[in-house]
């Protein structure tokens, strides 16, 4: 953190990237203070003054609006009519209409930000990769995120349960629901990691939106496929000890993950390089072929993972 704050070249690069964002989104109110600072540095004092005044007017308008809404709708006395409270549904329940699956997904999300053994596993690698965004001018380092880091997270998605996996066995949850919750969880993780990667590629290569969207499609498909493979390894070689990644998966599974992660990472670098050197019509054709291959692999891995989930929950009483 100290190096990032005090390194002049990192600060200069950060300010350069921020300036580009401000130039594009100058019309958004939360950017007006930054725009005024930019104008002041450029010695455009009138522009700086205008943006400061706009910021003050906007904040004052929000205060007036908040005061008006408070006086109009805030009721101090107890209402005379009692309305029966409805059971609240969370966001996942509204989307999927299945409380069991959404509860399992929420459990996984909480575990990945609270369990220290999981945080110790992936946070150092993720921190180094994010730091490399400011140090390196190569987009290839960021491809570690949707490949290797994604594989680590998805591989640990089963073994992190530890001895509490026995609770899943006794709950009224089918193996299909259990697997579906894990799969939806890794889709969410894959999307976030792909988004981080494509943002870094944008700030390095400054591609147009069409190329950026196509690259995101490729990276997201690779990330999903990596998650599927990681989930397969996690289901095949779990080890339910809550210490570190080597204890969440057997030694054989760890070696297999390392080899597969390296292969996927190298393949992704080669694919992105190929895409950047092709014309748009060939890239779209390649995306179509890649999507068909992904769909076939998805069907195969989905069937394998369902069988492994069934076997895992059948054998969980022996753990």
Least confident of 77-81, 132-136, 231-235, 295-299: 77-81
Residue 137 binned pLDDT confidence (cut-offs 50, 70, 90): low
Q: How many CB atoms sit inside 10 A of residue 93's CB?
A: 17
Residue 296 binned pLDDT confidence (cut-offs 50, 70, 90): very high
Grouping H, G, I as helix, E, B as strand and the rest as coil, residue 269 is helix
Residue 49 has pLDDT above 70, yes or no: yes
Mean pLDDT of the chain: 75
pLDDT score at 95: 47
Cα torsion 99, 102, 104, 106: sign: negative
Grouping H, G, I as helix, E, B as strand and the rest as coil, residue 249 is strand
Distance, first Cα to last Cα, the chain: 42
pLDDT score at 25: 64
Residue 129 binned pLDDT confidence (cut-offs 50, 70, 90): low
Q: What is the pTM of this model?
A: 0.64
pLDDT score at 246: 46
- Residue that the structure tokens 């945080």 belong to: 119
- From residue 265, give the alpha-carbon distance in Å to each of 96, 199, 280: 33, 18, 24
Residue 199 binned pLDDT confidence (cut-offs 50, 70, 90): confident
For range 104-118, the mean pLDDT: 73
For range 287-299, the mean pLDDT: 90
Residue 14 binned pLDDT confidence (cut-offs 50, 70, 90): low
What gap in Å lies between CA 291 and CA 253, rounded to an integer?
A: 27
Residue 117 has pLDDT above 70, yes or no: no
pLDDT score at 255: 85
Residue 252 has pLDDT above 70, yes or no: yes
Residue 318 has pLDDT above 80, yes or no: no
């Amino acid at each position: 953190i100290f190096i990032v704050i005090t390194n002049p070249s990192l600060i200069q690069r950060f300010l350069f990237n921020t300036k580009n964002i401000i130039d594009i989104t100058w019309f958004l109110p939360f950017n007006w203070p930054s725009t005024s600072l930019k104008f002041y540095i450029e010695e455009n004092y009138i522009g700086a003054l205008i943006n400061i005044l706009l910021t003050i007017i906007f904040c004052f308008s929000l205060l007036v609006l908040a005061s008006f809404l408070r006086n109009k709708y805030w009721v101090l006395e107890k209402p005379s009519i009692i309305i029966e409270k409805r059971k609240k549904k969370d966001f996942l329940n509204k989307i999927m209409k299945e409380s069991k699956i959404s509860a399992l997904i929420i459990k996984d999300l909480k575990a990945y930000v609270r369990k220290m053994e999981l945080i110790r596993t992936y946070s150092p690698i993720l921190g180094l990769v994010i730091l490399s965004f400011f140090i390196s001018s190569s987009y290839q380092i960021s491809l570690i995120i949707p490949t290797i880091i994604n594989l680590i997270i998805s591989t640990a998605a089963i073994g992190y349960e530890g001895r509490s996996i026995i609770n899943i066995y006794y709950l009224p949850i089918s193996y299909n629901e259990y697997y579906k919750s894990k799969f939806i969880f890794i889709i969410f993780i894959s999307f976030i990691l792909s988004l981080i990667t494509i943002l870094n590629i944008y700030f390095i290569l400054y591609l147009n939106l069409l190329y950026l969207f196509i690259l995101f499609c490729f990276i997201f498909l690779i990330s999903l496929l990596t998650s599927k493979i990681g989930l397969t390894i996690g289901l095949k070689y779990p080890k339910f000890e809550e210490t570190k990644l080597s204890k969440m998966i057997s030694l054989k599974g760890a070696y297999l993950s390392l080899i597969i992660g390296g292969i996927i990472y190298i393949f992704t670098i080669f694919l992105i390089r190929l895409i950047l050197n092709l014309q748009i019509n060939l890239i779209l054709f390649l995306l179509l072929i890649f999507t068909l291959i992904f769909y076939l692999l998805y069907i195969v891995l989905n069937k394998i993972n369902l069988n492994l989930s069934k076997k895992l929950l059948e054998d969980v009483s022996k753990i």
